[in-house]
Amino acid sequence: MSSDDVRLADLPLREDLRGRTPYGAPQLEVPVRLNTNENPFPPPGELVEDVTAAVREAAADLHRYPDRDAVELRRDLAGYLSGATGVPLSERNLWAANGSNEILQQLLQAFGGTGRTALGFEPSYSMHPIIAAGTRTEWLPAPRRPDFTLDAARAAEIVTERGPDVVFVTSPNNPTGGSIPLSELEPVLRAAPGIVVVDEAYAEFSAQPSAVRLLEDYPAKLVVSRTMSKAFAFAGGRVGYLAAAPAIVDALQLVRLPYHLSVMTQAAARAALRHAGATLASVARLAAERDRVVEALRGLGFAPVPSDANFVLFGLFADAPVSWRSYVDNGVLIRDVGIEGHLRVTIGTPEENDAFLAASKEVPR
Ligand code: PMP
């Protein structure tokens, strides 16, 4: 018997994982890839040089484990986030991990788990229920309005009724694009008996203020999760982070693997942060491109959902999977997020967006 003869179904896998499918957007080789909400502009040359020099220097220490607590990286992230939000933060308020997905997993390892629940307003980021399943946290789906906005009063009622240990609020919401104003977040925070995670992966693209401003008022409940994968053009570097009370950081230290952030990751992220100004200059360009794409889609008779992120959910399609395939055949990879009649496009470079709009004229509706 060769190792290829062993089938997944034959393994003593946890019963609750049987039959599940892994997260994953198709990674297809097509000319225009607008499916994973990355920043389409490559990092500036000075950043590439600085990251290279920082990693070269770090390589001299590769025989040693990294700083287990990533203190300097957390200090730099605190500096960036304080500057961006106007809220004073120190490294004690910051925690970092390999992408915000790992941050979210650590949060559910610490605050979810067997016998506990996590609630999210759907449709939203599909990894939230997947991470809940992986950590054996029962997932409680709650609705949004038919136009995908969050009804804050209703959301607070549901949170009161269900009493979840963890609530996820994604703002701007992926895949629908809208943000929640802080005045509407507060009723949810007041109602929540446990932790509220505001997933701000796309915050830099939004005009709404960050929930970081509410940390002072809800220190025992609120966690704001962010990432360098989107606006920061650092998706390949794998760094996400959170801002919260220092006690929440202490809680995550109980579940994190030691030395989870490599010497190279820490050095590269710190170098990339030194160029935040140059990288984030693309945010305004992308927001302008997003508005152009939305207008053009409207002009073509589509119904785009209002977005303040770097992607747009749009419809209506009689058969979204068929139309998705037709986009691929036209050389454009976008995302079928499983919302009936809709597809999601990431905002790319002006040329990529033009290719997407040209394909939009060809696909069946
Ligand atoms: N949160 C949201 C809402 C996202 O869309 C994503 C990426 N698709 C993430 C978190 C995780 O991203 P990363 O692990 O790269 O930080």
ipTM of the complex: 0.99
Q: How far is the CA of 173 from the centre of ligand 1 (A)?
A: 11
Label residue 328 exposed, middle or buried (CB < 10 Å: 0-12, 13-18, 19+).
Answer: middle
Closest CA to 309 of 194, 158, 165, 207: 207
- Answer yes or no: is pLDDT of 275 > 90: yes
From the candidate CATH numbers 3.40.640.10, 3.10.50.30, 3.40.50.300, 3.90.1310.10, the one assigned to the domain spanning 54-275:
3.40.640.10
In the chain, list all ranges with CATH 3.90.1150.10.
Answer: 23-45+277-360
Ligand 1 atom, smallest distance to 102 CA = 14
Q: Which of 125, 180, 204 to mutate to test the pocket of ligand 1 (most atoms within 8 A of CB)?
A: 125
In percent, the amount of the chain with pLDDT more than 90 equals: 96
Pocket of ligand 1 (CB under 6 A): 37, 99-101, 125, 170, 174, 199, 201, 227, 229, 235, 240
Span from the CA of 198 to the centroid of ligand 1 (angstroms): 12
Q: Which residues does 153 contact at the CB level (< 8 Å), separation at least 6?
A: 187
Q: What is the mean pLDDT of residues 237-255?
A: 98
For the chain, first and last CA: distance in Å? 50
Range(s) for CATH 3.40.640.10 in the chain? 54-275
C-alpha 101 to ligand 1 mean position (Å): 6
Q: Please, are residues 65 and 164 in contact by the beta-carbon 8 Å criterion?
A: no
Average pLDDT over residues 115-131: 97
pLDDT of residue 21: 87
Model-level pTM greater than 0.95? yes
Q: What is the pLDDT of residues 184-199, one digit of tens each?
A: 999 999 999 999 999 9
Give 303's pLDDT tier (boundaries 50, 70, 90): very high
Task: For residue range 41-63, list pLDDT tens digits in order.
Answer: 999 999 999 999 999 999 999 99
CA distance 130 to 108: 11
What's the chain's average pLDDT? 96
- 27 pLDDT exceeds 90? no
- Would you say residue 315 has pLDDT above 80? yes
Above 80 in pLDDT, residue 25? Answer: no
Q: How far is the CA of 97 from the centre of ligand 1 (A)?
A: 12
The residue whose CB lies within 8 Å of the most ligand 1 atoms, and thus the one to mutate among 100, 107, 346, is 100
What percentage of the chain reaches a pLDDT higher than 70? 100
User: What is the CATH code for 23-45+277-360?
Assistant: 3.90.1150.10
Measured CA to CA, the distance from residue 152 to residue 149 in angstroms comes to 9
Average pLDDT over residues 64-90: 97
Residue nearest to atom 14 of ligand 1 (CA): 99
Check whether 28 has a pLDDT greater than 90: no
